Amino acid sequence: MLTENYAEALTALLSCAVRRFVPASALPGGFSQDDAGDLIQQLPPTEARTLAEAITEAIVSPNPLMAALTATVAARNQARQMPAASGTHTSTSPSAS
């Protein structure tokens, strides 16, 4: 989503972060993705750029936890695609019953 619609991705991430880390009592009306867009528009351009760069870096920079998770998922997916090595052979030829 960062490459297809950067503004949409940025506001989605910011709204999620605010809802996650700001107490609900401080946001009595909630905090929507539209609110995040409004907040970004109110920032001076240099601050908006700094925020966007920080969020992007946090997502795309190497993260040891994400790297380990990605490797685990890749190994699991590869194991699911490999045929079972049971030593048996199934034949497609007809058998007498």
Q: Where are the domains of the chain?
A: 6-79
What tens digit of pLDDT does each residue of 61-75 get? 777 777 787 888 889
Please report the pLDDT score of residue 97 as a whole number. 43
Structural tokens at position 43 = 């920032």
What is the rounded CA–CA span in Å between residue 52 and residue 22?
A: 19
Range in 4-13, 23-32, 88-97 with the lowest mean pLDDT? 88-97
Q: Which of 85, 65, 86, 68 is nearest to 76 (CA)?
A: 68
Please state the pTM of the whole predicted model: 0.54
